[in-house]
Structure 1
Amino acid sequence: MIDVLVIGGGNAALCAALMARERGAAVLLLEASPREWRGGNTQHTRNLRCMHDEPQDVLVDAYPEEEFWQDLLKVTGGQTDEALARLVIRASATCRPWMRSHGVRFQPSLSGALHTARTNAFFMGGGKALVNAYYRSAENLGVQIRYDAPVERIELDGSRFVAAYVGDERVVARTCVLAAGGFESNREWLREAWGQNERGEYPADNFIIRGTRFNRGTLLRFMIEAGADCIGDPTQAHMVAIDARAPLYDGGICTRIDCVSLGVVVNRDARRFYNEGEDFWPKRYAIWGRLVAQQPAQIAYSIIDAKAIGRFMPPVFPGTRANTLPELARALGLPEAQFVKTIEAYNAACRPGTFDHAQLDDCRTEGLEPPKTHWARPLDTPPFLGYALRPGVTFTYLGLKTDETAAVRFAGERSRNLFVAGEMMAGNVLGRGYTAGVGMSIGTAFGRIAGANAAVSASQESLDAAA
């Protein structure tokens, strides 16, 4: 008899499976993807945001709980459950020794990852190495793993889990952890959520999926229709401005455009629409996908000059290069006169200051709308470069409501043997916005909680059955 069934194959699912197995439970993990695509969006991650009160191996200085909380509060605009957020923050301080025990290795912040040496612990070999380490550890511990095993529905007795279905196959277990991701690769659901804009466009038609093609949200929709308590706005997501030439799925980190704060961003009408220097890039990169999604045709262009070259992580595709602004406008297909007017107005508004991309410096614009409040320097040094941007969806925030036990809730009551972790519940902490590495913090914390509690529940179910 299976004690703990884990549905999913990414970070949260693996943490749950490992924790349950460590506590003596017989565990089966069902991964929807083939083996070569295992790991969900985790394979594209790089780091984990970590609270720490003093320097720790790859982390410098300190990043205390209150600062982490304030960073999260700022990006979510208060749309977060503080108790659950602080649970995640505190758990992030203690999880790395456990991760190491399962083969995960860390390295210092990458040279192209600005401002993260203090806040984020990077995985040696990236997310793919972390996924492989966890799977090796799970196999060594005796966790059963099945690939190409998507679960579209489960059997419930009220709020109690009974079985899951892989096709027509019924898989019975004492307890279950749902960690099957969001619905970001379900174009129809994205279209339904975003609807049409005032221009008659379906914005979701122009979204690119940064991560796995297997997160279609089938099980999430089943649970919502089955009456599970849910939380979150279906249009809210970890959505990043990425290279418009990125593949439809699995482009990952290398398609992100990280030079936004070093220049200006214009829409297809060659007009700026937001403050590019609002805050440090790790705290603001995830707002730009949604901003681009709100522009005509869901496209925008990041424009820099030679002064920015070498100051950001280069994307996989080279930028469009030109020696003059009119030439760049023509190459990008932008209205030339308006483009030149926009850049010249920006240049004239830049005020002298001491440029420092590692600080919230005093290089700003004056009398310009929208302003650029930091890192504002004239674009006056050829060559000029432009990158076409599209919204890149990483994961969606609509999910199942839970509490500190990671239990799924029905009409406010906890299920005794059904738990949730990862993207399927991230909306409890992320009502909107994002800050680098926090998705892995949430998945690791709640994956471990769900796995541990599922093992306890399975033991109790066994005792109840024997009685």
Structure 2
Amino acid sequence: MKPSATSYDVLVAGGGNAALCAAITAARAGARVIVVEKADKDARGGNTRHTRNMRVAHDEGNGILTGPYHSEEYLDDLKRVTKGNSDWELAELAIEKSKELWDFLEAQGVRFQPSLGGTLSLGRTNAFFLGGGRSMLNALYRAAEDLGVEVLYETEVVDVEIADGFFTGATLSDAQGRFPLSARAFVAAAGGFEANIEWLKEAWGPAAENFLIRGTPNNTGTLLRLLMDKGVEITGDPQQCHAVAIDGRAPKFDGGIVTRLDCVPFGVVLNADGERFYDEGEDFWPKRYAIWGRLVAAQPDQIGHVLIDSKAINLFMPSVFPPARADTLEELAETVGLDPAATRRTVDAFNAACVPGSFDHTVHDDCRTEGLTPPKSHWARPIDTPPFYAYSLRPGITFTYLSVRVNAEGRILMADGRPSANMFAAGEIMAGNVLGEGYLAGIGMMIGSVFGRIAGKGAASYVRN
């Protein structure tokens, strides 16, 4: 399908949460907007399709959010997981602006529900979408289309024309070939490069062949690479990404959130050599689950195995795939490809190091190990009650943090530091400005919505002026 015109006020590249928030905001300000989505209509929305919630600051509970989550606490949480690696002006702006998102999204038809049981204990901090990410996306698309936003599916921006930091036009490609499109302002919201295995290998080496991509196969970084080649300033480490430990049986692409494993705090994780390699109980899972993809990626063959016993099997939301099950540790080890003797040695050493305490997975309890390296700081209980269970883990890449640099107006910065007059960015393609490393559950969606609104407002303002 070709566009209905050859020129628009605002061209938005991408079709997920960030892109739609930008398009809606620009359209509400009177701009004529076109959205270019690489996927077909059924698969539209990029990684937003797989989301469930968004982390938002708020000063009081509201009947669904169970209590306050002040900006100061949010910022402290972000500082902890990023180890200070962030543009704090943009981080503070995003967190403060996140207070507006509940009302904004509700106004577009998005509805919320209480947090689901077993989903990382996020009832106070995160707003869960009724019907999940796809339902949220559908509401945003309806709102955009009601405002007259035009959407081109199965179409991609394959070139951009930039003169002295000024966007002058783009080349689009669909099944029939390439064609030009002009617009007075441009919003880049087309995701990262996580589905481009060759690009991942540039950063990670051959290990990247064993990575699984949790989200869309369409995020190949075409637009990011174009902007890099056109002289846009880049920020972030190409190795940094949102990478979680997912079920090793997940598909190469598009497995989604159901492949994530939340059982790590309740057991022990062994590498292919049958050895533990990190503290499974370091902190609450929402603040640590996103480091485990990188941890597993650093292990032999990029694989891990989490072992739990019958005491823990009902404490977490299960994966879409059932665990391996056996009545003895040795039999379980053989089932998942571990050496039985090495597995027994590791588990026996762990069990002997466990200090008796009052187990409570909702707090930093006193169940820990002593004299063990690495330690387990909380929720440490002997793995001794059959039947025993195991999940095999692989690195699951959600999105990459290599990004175009933006300022507080969402304007893309050129390599000389000057902000573009009419180019903006939102979502994964700029999230590395806030996320230098680490992750908080639901913050990616927050960054997309906040900077989508900022970009849409800036683009419309430029057009008006």
When normalised by structure 2's length, the TM-score is 0.97
Which one of the candidate residues 221, 227, 242 is aligned to 2:246?
A: 242
Aligned residue type for 2:201: R
Aligned to 2:371, which of 364, 367, 372? 367
Structure 2 Cα separation of the partners of residues 188 and 405 of structure 1: 33
Report the alpha carbon displacement of residue 92 of structure 1 after superposing the two structures with TM: 1.2
SS at match of 1:35: coil
Question: How high is the sequence identity, in percent, across the aligned residues?
Answer: 56
Quote the residue 2:199 is aligned against: 189
Alpha-carbon separation, structure 1, partners of 2:335 and 2:190: 42
Question: Which of 27, 31, 35 is matched with 1:29 structurally?
Answer: 35
1:425 matched residue in structure 2: 430
User: Counterpart amino acid of 2:182?
Assistant: V
Amino acid at match of 1:104: V
Q: 2:63 aligns with which of 57, 82, 86?
A: 57
Q: How does 1:130-145 map to 2 (within 5 A)?
A: 130-145=136-151
CA distance in 1, matches of 2:441, 2:197: 25
8 Å CA contact 1:114–1:358 kept in 2: the answer is no
Equivalent residue letter for 1:288:
W
Report the residue type matching 1:451 in the other structure: G
Q: Cα distance, 1:114 vs. partner?
A: 3.0
The CA distance in 1 between the partners of 2:27 and 2:309, in whole Å, is 54
CA distance in 2, matches of 1:280, 1:44: 22
Paired AA for residue 420 in structure 2: S
Give the Å deviation of 1:333: 1.2
- Structure 2 match to 1:311: 315
User: Residue 450 of structure 1: CA displacement?
Assistant: 0.1
The question of whether the paired residues in 2 share the 8 Å contact of 1:242 and 1:390 is answered with yes
Residue 290 of structure 1, aligned match among 294, 307, 329 = 294
Structure 2 residues without counterparts, runs of 5 or longer? 1-6
Task: Give the Cα–Cα distance (whole angstroms) in 2 for the partners of residues 270 and 276 of structure 1.
Answer: 15
Query: Which residue of 2 is the match for residue 281 of structure 1?
Result: 285
Instruction: Describe the SS at the equivalent of 1:248.
Output: coil
Deviations 1:232-279 (A, max 9, x none): 000100000000000111111100011000000000000000000000
Are the equivalent residues in 2 in contact too, given 1:53–1:64 (CA < 8 A)? Answer: yes
String of CA shifts for 1:135-178, please: whole Å, max 9, x gaps.
Answer: 11111111000001111211111210011111321110000100
Runs of 4+ in 1 over 2 A off after TM superposition: none
Shift of 1:392: 0.3
Residues 48 and 122 in structure 1, CA contact (< 8 A), matched pair in contact too: yes
- Deviation, 1:229, is 0.4
The Cα of 1:456 is off from its aligned counterpart by 0.5
Match of 2:71, as an amino acid? E
Match of 1:439 among 409, 424, 444: 444
- Opposite residue 194 of structure 1, the aligned amino acid is W
1:175 equivalenced with 2:181 (yes/no): no
Question: Is the partner of 1:4 in helix, strand or coil?
Answer: strand
1:33-52 superposed matches below 5 A: 33-52=39-58
- Secondary structure at the counterpart of residue 231 of structure 2: coil
Letter in 2 for 1:187: I
**2: distance between equivalents of 1:113 and 1:45?**
12
Runs of at least 5 residues in structure 1 that lack an aligned partner in the other structure: 196-201, 461-467
How big is each residue's C-alpha offset from its partner over 1:290-346, in whole Å with a ceiling of 9 and x where there is no partner?
A: 000000000000110001111101100000000011111111111111100000000
Matched, 1:398 2:402: yes
Amino acid at match of 2:218: F
Show CA shifts across 1:117-141 (max 9, x none). Answer: 1110100000000111111111111
Give the match's secondary structure for 2:157.
coil
Q: In 2, are the aligned partners of 1:179 and 1:422 still within 8 Å (CA)?
A: yes
1:359 counterpart SS class = coil
Partners of 1:194 and 1:328 in 2: CA distance: 31
**Secondary structure in structure 2 of the residue aligned to 1:41:** helix
Task: Please tell me whether residue 329 in structure 1 is matched to residue 333 in structure 2.
Answer: yes
Number of the residue aligned with 1:82: 88
Aligned counterpart, 2:102: 96
d(CA) in 2 for partners of 1:194, 1:325: 33
Cα distance in structure 1, aligned partners of 2:347 and 2:287 = 26
Aligned mates of 1:387, 1:284 — CA distance in 2: 18
The answer to which of 149-158 and 421-430 deviates more is 149-158
Whole-angstrom distance in 2 between the partners of 1:129 and 1:2: 28
TM-score with structure 1 length normalisation?
Answer: 0.96
Taking the aligned partners of 2:313 and 2:339, their CA distance within structure 1 comes to: 25
Report the Cα distance in structure 2 between the residues aligned to 1:289 and 1:143, rounded to whole angstroms: 38
C-alpha distance in 2, partners of 1:57/1:28? 37
Q: Deviations over 1:3-29 (max 9, x none)?
A: 111000000000000000000000000
2:462 to 444, 457, 461: 457
Of the candidates 148, 156, 163, which is equivalent to residue 157 of structure 1? Answer: 163
1:15-26 to 2 correspondence within 5 Å? Answer: 15-26=21-32
Q: Name which of 109, 119, 123 aligns with 1:113.
A: 119
State the SS of the aligned residue for 1:308.
coil
In 2: Cα distance, 1:115 partner to 1:69 partner = 19
CA contact (8 A) 1:350 1:363 kept: yes
Task: Please tell me the residue identity of whatever aligns with 2:65.
Answer: L
Aligned length: 454
1:211 aligns to what? 215
Q: Who is 1:198 aligned against?
A: none
CA distance in structure 1 between the partners assigned to 2:11 and 2:93 by the alignment:
24
**Matched residue SS, 2:441:** coil
